[in-house]
Structure 1
Amino acid sequence: MFEKRWYNRLGDFGFNLILLNILWVAFTLLGLVIFGLFPATIALFAVIRKWILENEDTPILQEFIKRYKAEFKMANVIGYIVFLIGMGLYLDFQIVQKISNESLQVLLINAILVIGIFYLIAVLYVFPLYVHFDFKLMKYLQYACILSIARPFQTIMMVAFVGVILYLYMLMPALIFPFGMSLFSYIVMRVAALSFPKKKVLQET
Protein backbone atom coordinates (compact mmCIF):
# COMPACT_ATOMS: atom_id res chain seq x y z
CA MET A 1 0.00 0.00 0.00
CA PHE A 2 1.25 3.47 -0.88
CA GLU A 3 2.50 5.38 2.16
CA LYS A 4 2.55 9.15 2.07
CA ARG A 5 5.92 10.81 2.37
CA TRP A 6 6.48 13.36 5.14
CA TYR A 7 6.09 16.34 2.81
CA ASN A 8 2.79 14.97 1.49
CA ARG A 9 1.54 14.54 5.04
CA LEU A 10 2.74 18.04 5.93
CA GLY A 11 0.94 19.44 2.90
CA ASP A 12 -2.27 17.61 3.84
CA PHE A 13 -1.92 18.86 7.40
CA GLY A 14 -1.58 22.46 6.26
CA PHE A 15 -4.45 22.17 3.79
CA ASN A 16 -6.74 20.66 6.42
CA LEU A 17 -5.93 23.43 8.88
CA ILE A 18 -6.71 26.07 6.26
CA LEU A 19 -9.97 24.34 5.33
CA LEU A 20 -11.00 24.05 8.98
CA ASN A 21 -10.25 27.71 9.61
CA ILE A 22 -12.36 28.73 6.60
CA LEU A 23 -15.22 26.53 7.84
CA TRP A 24 -14.95 27.98 11.34
CA VAL A 25 -15.16 31.55 10.04
CA ALA A 26 -17.95 30.73 7.57
CA PHE A 27 -20.16 28.90 10.06
CA THR A 28 -19.53 31.50 12.77
CA LEU A 29 -20.83 34.11 10.34
CA LEU A 30 -23.66 31.79 9.29
CA GLY A 31 -24.91 31.90 12.87
CA LEU A 32 -24.55 35.71 12.85
CA VAL A 33 -21.55 35.31 15.20
CA ILE A 34 -23.76 35.46 18.31
CA PHE A 35 -25.30 32.05 17.64
CA GLY A 36 -22.59 30.65 15.39
CA LEU A 37 -19.37 31.17 17.33
CA PHE A 38 -19.70 28.38 19.87
CA PRO A 39 -21.27 25.72 17.58
CA ALA A 40 -18.53 26.42 15.02
CA THR A 41 -15.88 26.12 17.73
CA ILE A 42 -17.33 22.84 19.00
CA ALA A 43 -17.50 21.49 15.43
CA LEU A 44 -13.88 22.54 14.90
CA PHE A 45 -12.69 20.75 18.04
CA ALA A 46 -14.81 17.68 17.21
CA VAL A 47 -13.25 17.31 13.75
CA ILE A 48 -9.74 17.85 15.11
CA ARG A 49 -10.33 15.31 17.88
CA LYS A 50 -11.45 12.72 15.35
CA TRP A 51 -8.55 13.66 13.10
CA ILE A 52 -6.00 13.22 15.92
CA LEU A 53 -7.38 10.16 17.72
CA GLU A 54 -9.23 8.19 15.08
CA ASN A 55 -8.52 8.87 11.44
CA GLU A 56 -6.44 11.43 9.59
CA ASP A 57 -8.64 10.92 6.51
CA THR A 58 -11.80 12.14 8.25
CA PRO A 59 -14.13 13.83 5.72
CA ILE A 60 -13.71 17.30 7.16
CA LEU A 61 -16.58 19.16 5.52
CA GLN A 62 -19.22 16.51 6.21
CA GLU A 63 -18.06 15.96 9.79
CA PHE A 64 -17.93 19.70 10.50
CA ILE A 65 -21.46 20.31 9.23
CA LYS A 66 -22.81 17.28 11.10
CA ARG A 67 -21.35 18.37 14.43
CA TYR A 68 -22.32 22.01 13.91
CA LYS A 69 -25.97 21.03 13.47
CA ALA A 70 -26.00 18.36 16.18
CA GLU A 71 -24.36 20.52 18.85
CA PHE A 72 -25.87 23.89 17.91
CA LYS A 73 -28.07 24.29 20.99
CA MET A 74 -25.83 22.74 23.64
CA ALA A 75 -22.71 24.46 22.29
CA ASN A 76 -24.39 27.84 22.77
CA VAL A 77 -25.52 26.90 26.27
CA ILE A 78 -22.08 25.84 27.50
CA GLY A 79 -20.34 28.58 25.53
CA TYR A 80 -22.41 31.35 27.06
CA ILE A 81 -22.12 29.91 30.55
CA VAL A 82 -18.35 30.12 30.18
CA PHE A 83 -18.68 33.61 28.68
CA LEU A 84 -20.91 34.86 31.51
CA ILE A 85 -18.48 33.54 34.13
CA GLY A 86 -15.73 35.51 32.41
CA MET A 87 -17.88 38.62 32.24
CA GLY A 88 -18.62 38.23 35.96
CA LEU A 89 -14.90 38.23 36.72
CA TYR A 90 -14.39 41.28 34.50
CA LEU A 91 -17.19 43.21 36.24
CA ASP A 92 -15.79 42.23 39.65
CA PHE A 93 -12.43 43.63 38.55
CA GLN A 94 -14.04 46.90 37.47
CA ILE A 95 -15.92 47.21 40.77
CA VAL A 96 -12.85 46.44 42.89
CA GLN A 97 -10.92 49.24 41.15
CA LYS A 98 -13.37 51.74 42.67
CA ILE A 99 -12.72 50.64 46.27
CA SER A 100 -11.15 53.47 48.26
CA ASN A 101 -9.33 51.24 50.74
CA GLU A 102 -6.00 50.70 48.95
CA SER A 103 -4.90 47.62 50.92
CA LEU A 104 -8.23 45.88 50.40
CA GLN A 105 -8.23 46.90 46.74
CA VAL A 106 -4.77 45.38 46.12
CA LEU A 107 -5.77 42.18 47.90
CA LEU A 108 -8.99 41.78 45.91
CA ILE A 109 -7.36 42.67 42.58
CA ASN A 110 -4.66 40.03 43.13
CA ALA A 111 -7.32 37.47 44.10
CA ILE A 112 -9.36 38.22 40.95
CA LEU A 113 -6.24 38.03 38.77
CA VAL A 114 -5.36 34.60 40.18
CA ILE A 115 -8.93 33.39 39.67
CA GLY A 116 -8.93 34.92 36.19
CA ILE A 117 -5.77 33.08 35.17
CA PHE A 118 -7.20 29.83 36.51
CA TYR A 119 -10.44 30.55 34.60
CA LEU A 120 -8.60 31.09 31.31
CA ILE A 121 -6.65 27.85 31.75
CA ALA A 122 -9.83 25.92 32.58
CA VAL A 123 -11.53 27.35 29.47
CA LEU A 124 -8.81 25.72 27.34
CA TYR A 125 -10.01 22.34 28.61
CA VAL A 126 -13.78 22.89 28.27
CA PHE A 127 -14.18 22.38 24.52
CA PRO A 128 -11.80 19.39 24.26
CA LEU A 129 -13.67 17.76 27.16
CA TYR A 130 -17.01 18.46 25.52
CA VAL A 131 -16.10 16.72 22.25
CA HIS A 132 -14.36 13.80 23.98
CA PHE A 133 -16.76 12.86 26.79
CA ASP A 134 -20.50 12.61 27.24
CA PHE A 135 -21.33 14.32 30.53
CA LYS A 136 -24.03 16.43 32.06
CA LEU A 137 -23.49 20.12 31.43
CA MET A 138 -21.85 21.20 34.68
CA LYS A 139 -19.49 18.20 34.69
CA TYR A 140 -17.56 19.74 31.79
CA LEU A 141 -16.85 22.84 33.85
CA GLN A 142 -16.03 20.73 36.91
CA TYR A 143 -13.54 18.50 35.12
CA ALA A 144 -11.99 21.44 33.26
CA CYS A 145 -11.12 22.93 36.65
CA ILE A 146 -9.88 19.60 37.98
CA LEU A 147 -7.64 18.89 34.98
CA SER A 148 -6.13 22.38 35.17
CA ILE A 149 -4.70 21.43 38.57
CA ALA A 150 -4.43 17.64 38.38
CA ARG A 151 -2.41 17.66 35.12
CA PRO A 152 0.17 20.40 35.81
CA PHE A 153 2.70 19.22 33.20
CA GLN A 154 0.11 19.12 30.41
CA THR A 155 -1.39 22.40 31.56
CA ILE A 156 1.99 24.14 31.50
CA MET A 157 2.69 22.61 28.09
CA MET A 158 -0.65 23.80 26.75
CA VAL A 159 -0.20 27.34 28.05
CA ALA A 160 3.33 27.45 26.64
CA PHE A 161 2.27 26.29 23.19
CA VAL A 162 -0.69 28.66 23.14
CA GLY A 163 1.67 31.46 24.12
CA VAL A 164 4.02 30.58 21.27
CA ILE A 165 1.17 30.54 18.75
CA LEU A 166 -0.17 33.90 19.92
CA TYR A 167 3.36 35.32 19.76
CA LEU A 168 3.75 34.03 16.19
CA TYR A 169 0.43 35.62 15.25
CA MET A 170 1.65 38.93 16.69
CA LEU A 171 4.92 38.68 14.74
CA MET A 172 3.23 37.52 11.53
CA PRO A 173 -0.43 38.62 11.49
CA ALA A 174 -0.77 37.20 7.97
CA LEU A 175 -0.83 33.72 9.54
CA ILE A 176 -4.10 34.51 11.29
CA PHE A 177 -6.17 34.40 8.09
CA PRO A 178 -5.22 30.86 6.97
CA PHE A 179 -4.49 29.23 10.34
CA GLY A 180 -5.97 31.49 13.06
CA MET A 181 -8.40 29.36 15.04
CA SER A 182 -7.65 25.96 13.52
CA LEU A 183 -3.96 25.84 14.52
CA PHE A 184 -4.81 27.15 17.98
CA SER A 185 -7.51 24.46 18.41
CA TYR A 186 -5.27 21.72 17.06
CA ILE A 187 -2.58 22.47 19.65
CA VAL A 188 -5.09 22.71 22.50
CA MET A 189 -6.82 19.47 21.48
CA ARG A 190 -3.53 17.63 20.98
CA VAL A 191 -2.22 18.55 24.43
CA ALA A 192 -5.60 18.18 26.16
CA ALA A 193 -5.89 14.63 24.82
CA LEU A 194 -2.74 13.77 26.77
CA SER A 195 -4.48 14.93 29.95
CA PHE A 196 -7.64 12.89 29.60
CA PRO A 197 -8.05 9.92 31.91
CA LYS A 198 -9.87 6.89 30.64
CA LYS A 199 -13.59 7.45 30.08
CA LYS A 200 -14.45 4.68 32.53
CA VAL A 201 -12.52 6.42 35.30
CA LEU A 202 -14.32 9.70 34.76
CA GLN A 203 -17.73 8.08 34.49
CA GLU A 204 -17.24 6.35 37.82
CA THR A 205 -16.28 9.55 39.69
Structure 2
Amino acid sequence: MEMRGLMGGFYKISEWIMRLSVTNVLWIICSIPFVFFIFSGLVISQNEGQLYSSLIWAAIVAPFTFFPATAALYAVVRKWIMGEVDVPLFKTFFRGYKENYVQSMFGGLLYTLLFVIMFVDYKVYLNELNNFQLLSYVFIGLIFLLFVSMFNFFSMMVHYHMKLFQLIKNAILITIGRPLRSLSTVIVSGGILFISFQFTFLIPFFMGSLIGVVSFYNFHLIYLKLKEQQERAEAEKQAEEEDVEISEDVRK
Protein backbone atom coordinates (compact mmCIF):
# COMPACT_ATOMS: atom_id res chain seq x y z
CA MET A 1 0.00 0.00 0.00
CA GLU A 2 1.45 3.34 -1.09
CA MET A 3 1.88 5.91 1.66
CA ARG A 4 0.45 9.35 1.01
CA GLY A 5 0.79 12.77 2.54
CA LEU A 6 3.71 13.86 4.67
CA MET A 7 4.84 10.33 5.54
CA GLY A 8 4.72 9.37 1.87
CA GLY A 9 6.93 12.34 1.04
CA PHE A 10 9.46 11.40 3.73
CA TYR A 11 9.45 7.81 2.47
CA LYS A 12 10.18 8.88 -1.14
CA ILE A 13 12.96 11.20 0.05
CA SER A 14 14.53 8.41 2.09
CA GLU A 15 14.33 6.09 -0.92
CA TRP A 16 16.20 8.59 -3.10
CA ILE A 17 18.79 9.19 -0.38
CA MET A 18 19.38 5.43 -0.29
CA ARG A 19 19.58 5.12 -4.10
CA LEU A 20 21.99 8.02 -4.49
CA SER A 21 24.21 7.03 -1.57
CA VAL A 22 24.47 3.32 -2.45
CA THR A 23 25.31 4.09 -6.09
CA ASN A 24 27.87 6.71 -5.04
CA VAL A 25 29.55 4.35 -2.56
CA LEU A 26 29.81 1.65 -5.26
CA TRP A 27 31.33 4.23 -7.61
CA ILE A 28 33.90 5.27 -4.99
CA ILE A 29 34.82 1.66 -4.15
CA CYS A 30 35.38 0.75 -7.80
CA SER A 31 37.49 3.91 -8.27
CA ILE A 32 39.62 3.51 -5.12
CA PRO A 33 43.09 3.66 -6.79
CA PHE A 34 42.14 6.81 -8.72
CA VAL A 35 40.53 8.40 -5.66
CA PHE A 36 43.61 7.58 -3.56
CA PHE A 37 46.04 9.32 -5.94
CA ILE A 38 43.73 12.33 -6.42
CA PHE A 39 43.37 12.66 -2.66
CA SER A 40 47.14 12.31 -2.19
CA GLY A 41 47.82 14.97 -4.81
CA LEU A 42 45.27 17.54 -3.71
CA VAL A 43 45.36 17.05 0.08
CA ILE A 44 48.55 15.30 1.22
CA SER A 45 51.12 16.63 -1.30
CA GLN A 46 53.40 19.26 0.16
CA ASN A 47 55.10 20.50 -3.01
CA GLU A 48 54.54 20.73 -6.74
CA GLY A 49 56.64 17.64 -7.47
CA GLN A 50 54.51 15.42 -5.23
CA LEU A 51 51.36 16.92 -6.75
CA TYR A 52 52.45 16.12 -10.30
CA SER A 53 53.57 12.63 -9.28
CA SER A 54 50.18 11.86 -7.75
CA LEU A 55 48.32 13.27 -10.77
CA ILE A 56 50.45 11.16 -13.13
CA TRP A 57 49.57 8.01 -11.19
CA ALA A 58 45.91 9.07 -11.14
CA ALA A 59 46.02 9.47 -14.93
CA ILE A 60 47.60 6.00 -15.29
CA VAL A 61 44.93 4.19 -13.23
CA ALA A 62 41.93 6.31 -14.37
CA PRO A 63 41.16 4.31 -17.57
CA PHE A 64 41.09 1.04 -15.60
CA THR A 65 39.14 2.23 -12.55
CA PHE A 66 37.50 5.65 -12.75
CA PHE A 67 36.13 5.39 -16.30
CA PRO A 68 34.51 1.92 -15.94
CA ALA A 69 33.10 2.86 -12.51
CA THR A 70 31.64 6.09 -13.90
CA ALA A 71 30.11 4.22 -16.86
CA ALA A 72 28.46 1.87 -14.35
CA LEU A 73 27.14 4.82 -12.35
CA TYR A 74 25.65 6.33 -15.51
CA ALA A 75 24.04 2.98 -16.36
CA VAL A 76 22.13 3.18 -13.07
CA VAL A 77 21.30 6.87 -13.48
CA ARG A 78 19.97 6.20 -17.01
CA LYS A 79 17.45 3.76 -15.56
CA TRP A 80 16.25 6.39 -13.10
CA ILE A 81 15.86 9.12 -15.73
CA MET A 82 14.04 6.70 -18.04
CA GLY A 83 11.51 6.02 -15.27
CA GLU A 84 12.84 2.72 -13.88
CA VAL A 85 13.50 4.02 -10.37
CA ASP A 86 13.12 0.66 -8.61
CA VAL A 87 15.87 -1.24 -10.44
CA PRO A 88 18.16 -3.38 -8.23
CA LEU A 89 21.16 -1.14 -7.57
CA PHE A 90 23.94 -3.70 -7.15
CA LYS A 91 22.84 -5.80 -10.12
CA THR A 92 22.36 -2.80 -12.42
CA PHE A 93 25.64 -1.18 -11.37
CA PHE A 94 27.83 -4.23 -11.86
CA ARG A 95 26.06 -5.22 -15.06
CA GLY A 96 26.82 -1.74 -16.40
CA TYR A 97 30.39 -2.09 -15.13
CA LYS A 98 30.88 -5.40 -16.94
CA GLU A 99 29.11 -4.46 -20.18
CA ASN A 100 30.90 -1.12 -20.60
CA TYR A 101 34.30 -1.99 -19.14
CA VAL A 102 36.25 -2.48 -22.37
CA GLN A 103 34.80 0.52 -24.18
CA SER A 104 35.10 2.80 -21.15
CA MET A 105 38.68 1.63 -20.58
CA PHE A 106 39.77 2.42 -24.16
CA GLY A 107 37.79 5.66 -24.01
CA GLY A 108 39.61 6.49 -20.79
CA LEU A 109 42.98 5.76 -22.40
CA LEU A 110 42.16 8.06 -25.32
CA TYR A 111 40.77 10.84 -23.12
CA THR A 112 43.77 10.63 -20.79
CA LEU A 113 46.18 10.78 -23.73
CA LEU A 114 44.41 13.85 -25.13
CA PHE A 115 44.42 15.56 -21.73
CA VAL A 116 48.14 14.88 -21.29
CA ILE A 117 49.00 16.16 -24.78
CA MET A 118 46.98 19.34 -24.30
CA PHE A 119 48.37 19.97 -20.82
CA VAL A 120 51.95 19.54 -22.04
CA ASP A 121 51.27 21.91 -24.96
CA TYR A 122 49.74 24.40 -22.53
CA LYS A 123 52.84 24.32 -20.28
CA VAL A 124 55.21 24.60 -23.27
CA TYR A 125 53.44 27.61 -24.77
CA LEU A 126 53.08 29.25 -21.34
CA ASN A 127 56.63 28.79 -20.07
CA GLU A 128 58.93 28.00 -23.00
CA LEU A 129 57.63 29.97 -25.96
CA ASN A 130 57.30 33.55 -24.73
CA ASN A 131 56.09 34.89 -28.07
CA PHE A 132 53.23 32.39 -28.19
CA GLN A 133 51.91 32.56 -24.63
CA LEU A 134 48.49 33.60 -25.93
CA LEU A 135 48.12 30.14 -27.48
CA SER A 136 48.27 28.61 -24.00
CA TYR A 137 44.75 29.95 -23.39
CA VAL A 138 43.57 28.11 -26.49
CA PHE A 139 44.71 24.85 -24.93
CA ILE A 140 42.95 25.76 -21.68
CA GLY A 141 39.76 26.12 -23.75
CA LEU A 142 40.36 22.78 -25.47
CA ILE A 143 40.99 21.05 -22.14
CA PHE A 144 37.75 22.52 -20.79
CA LEU A 145 35.83 21.42 -23.91
CA LEU A 146 37.24 17.91 -23.64
CA PHE A 147 36.38 17.75 -19.94
CA VAL A 148 32.77 18.83 -20.53
CA SER A 149 32.40 16.34 -23.39
CA MET A 150 33.08 13.50 -20.92
CA PHE A 151 29.63 14.06 -19.40
CA ASN A 152 28.06 13.38 -22.80
CA PHE A 153 30.53 10.57 -23.50
CA PHE A 154 29.37 8.55 -20.49
CA SER A 155 25.71 9.36 -21.17
CA MET A 156 25.97 8.25 -24.80
CA MET A 157 27.92 5.12 -23.91
CA VAL A 158 25.10 3.75 -21.75
CA HIS A 159 22.32 5.00 -24.07
CA TYR A 160 23.57 4.08 -27.55
CA HIS A 161 25.42 1.24 -29.20
CA MET A 162 28.26 3.03 -30.99
CA LYS A 163 31.90 2.48 -31.75
CA LEU A 164 34.39 4.29 -29.54
CA PHE A 165 35.45 6.99 -31.98
CA GLN A 166 31.82 7.70 -32.86
CA LEU A 167 31.05 8.13 -29.17
CA ILE A 168 33.88 10.59 -28.58
CA LYS A 169 33.21 12.50 -31.81
CA ASN A 170 29.47 12.80 -31.11
CA ALA A 171 30.09 13.69 -27.46
CA ILE A 172 32.29 16.60 -28.55
CA LEU A 173 29.86 17.68 -31.30
CA ILE A 174 26.90 17.69 -28.89
CA THR A 175 28.96 19.67 -26.37
CA ILE A 176 29.73 22.29 -29.02
CA GLY A 177 26.30 22.16 -30.68
CA ARG A 178 24.34 22.56 -27.44
CA PRO A 179 26.46 25.09 -25.52
CA LEU A 180 23.70 26.30 -23.17
CA ARG A 181 22.79 22.79 -22.07
CA SER A 182 26.47 21.89 -21.69
CA LEU A 183 27.08 25.08 -19.72
CA SER A 184 24.16 24.34 -17.40
CA THR A 185 25.62 20.88 -16.74
CA VAL A 186 28.99 22.42 -15.86
CA ILE A 187 27.48 25.11 -13.64
CA VAL A 188 25.26 22.74 -11.66
CA SER A 189 28.01 20.11 -11.40
CA GLY A 190 30.43 22.80 -10.25
CA GLY A 191 27.92 23.85 -7.62
CA ILE A 192 27.62 20.26 -6.41
CA LEU A 193 31.42 19.99 -6.23
CA PHE A 194 31.69 23.25 -4.30
CA ILE A 195 29.03 22.26 -1.77
CA SER A 196 30.53 18.76 -1.45
CA PHE A 197 33.94 20.16 -0.55
CA GLN A 198 32.33 22.50 1.95
CA PHE A 199 30.44 19.60 3.55
CA THR A 200 32.82 16.70 2.92
CA PHE A 201 30.41 13.99 4.12
CA LEU A 202 28.59 14.53 0.80
CA ILE A 203 31.61 13.34 -1.24
CA PRO A 204 31.42 9.60 -0.46
CA PHE A 205 27.64 9.44 -0.49
CA PHE A 206 26.15 11.89 -2.99
CA MET A 207 28.66 13.87 -5.07
CA GLY A 208 29.18 11.53 -8.03
CA SER A 209 25.62 10.24 -8.23
CA LEU A 210 24.14 13.76 -8.12
CA ILE A 211 26.47 14.93 -10.90
CA GLY A 212 25.52 11.83 -12.90
CA VAL A 213 21.81 12.59 -12.51
CA VAL A 214 22.24 16.22 -13.59
CA SER A 215 24.43 15.45 -16.60
CA PHE A 216 22.37 12.51 -17.90
CA TYR A 217 19.15 14.48 -17.41
CA ASN A 218 20.54 17.30 -19.57
CA PHE A 219 21.80 14.80 -22.14
CA HIS A 220 18.38 13.12 -22.24
CA LEU A 221 16.74 16.48 -22.96
CA ILE A 222 19.17 16.94 -25.86
CA TYR A 223 18.41 13.41 -27.06
CA LEU A 224 14.64 14.02 -27.00
CA LYS A 225 15.09 17.30 -28.90
CA LEU A 226 17.25 15.67 -31.57
CA LYS A 227 14.79 12.79 -31.86
CA GLU A 228 11.92 15.24 -32.30
CA GLN A 229 13.82 17.12 -35.01
CA GLN A 230 14.66 13.85 -36.79
CA GLU A 231 11.03 12.71 -36.72
CA ARG A 232 9.87 16.12 -38.00
CA ALA A 233 12.43 16.00 -40.84
CA GLU A 234 11.34 12.47 -41.78
CA ALA A 235 7.67 13.52 -41.73
CA GLU A 236 8.43 16.53 -43.97
CA LYS A 237 10.42 14.35 -46.34
CA GLN A 238 7.60 11.81 -46.51
CA ALA A 239 5.08 14.59 -47.15
CA GLU A 240 7.24 15.94 -49.99
CA GLU A 241 7.47 12.47 -51.53
CA GLU A 242 3.71 12.08 -51.33
CA ASP A 243 3.23 15.49 -52.99
CA VAL A 244 5.56 14.43 -55.80
CA GLU A 245 3.64 11.19 -56.30
CA ILE A 246 0.32 13.08 -56.39
CA SER A 247 1.72 15.53 -58.94
CA GLU A 248 2.90 12.67 -61.14
CA ASP A 249 -0.51 10.99 -60.92
CA VAL A 250 -2.23 14.24 -61.93
CA ARG A 251 0.03 14.61 -64.97
CA LYS A 252 -0.80 11.08 -66.04
TM-score strictly above 0.5? yes
Corresponding residue of 2:84: 55
Structure 1 unmatched ranges of 5 or more: none
Match of 2:9 among 6, 10, 23: 6
Q: What letter corresponds to residue 217 of structure 2 in structure 1?
A: R
Match of 1:178 among 184, 205, 229: 205
TM-superposed deviation, 1:150: 1.7
CA separation in 2, counterparts of 1:74 and 1:16?
Answer: 26
CA separation in 1, counterparts of 2:187 and 2:198?
Answer: 16
Corresponding residue of 1:120: 147
Alignment of 1:1-205 (within 5 A): 2=2, 5-29=8-32, 34=61, 35-102=64-131, 104-105=132-133, 107-196=134-223, 197-198=226-227, 201=230
Deviating 4+ runs (over 3 angstroms): 29-33
SS in structure 1 of the partner of residue 86 of structure 2: coil
CA separation in 2, counterparts of 1:49 and 1:60?
Answer: 12
Q: In 2 relative to 1, CA 68–188 (structure 1 residues): closer, same or farther, beyond 3 Å?
A: same
TM-superposed deviation, 1:113: 1.6
Which structure: larger Rg? 2
CA separation in 1, counterparts of 2:72 and 2:82?
Answer: 15
Q: In 2 relative to 1, CA 14–133 (structure 1 residues): closer, same or farther, beyond 3 Å?
A: same
CA separation in 1, counterparts of 2:12 and 2:76?
Answer: 17
Residue by residue over 1:116-155, the C-alpha shift from the partner in whole angstroms, topping out at 9 and shown as x without a partner, is 2222221221101111111111111111111112222211
CA separation in 2, counterparts of 1:170 and 1:30?
Answer: 20
TM-superposed deviation, 1:170: 2.5
More displaced 10-residue stretch of structure 1: 181-190 or 13-22: 181-190
Q: What letter corresponds to residue 22 of structure 1 in structure 2?
A: V
SS in structure 2 of the partner of residue 198 of structure 1: helix
Q: What letter corresponds to residue 25 of structure 2 in structure 1?
A: I
CA separation in 2, counterparts of 1:71 and 1:164?
Answer: 28
Q: What letter corresponds to residue 11 of structure 2 in structure 1?
A: N
Q: Which has the higher contact order (CA 8 A, sep 6+)?
A: 1
SS in structure 2 of the partner of residue 38 of structure 1: helix
Number of positions where the alignment pairs a residue of Structure 1 with one of Structure 2: 199
Contact kept, 8 Å, 1:130 with 1:140, in 2: the verdict is: yes
TM-superposed deviation, 1:63: 0.9
- Using the aligned pairs only, state the percent identity: 25
Q: In 2 relative to 1, CA 200–66 (structure 1 residues): closer, same or farther, beyond 3 Å?
A: farther
TM-superposed deviation, 1:74: 1.6
Residue by residue over 1:96-122, the C-alpha shift from the partner in whole angstroms, topping out at 9 and shown as x without a partner, is 1233433x22x2112112212222221
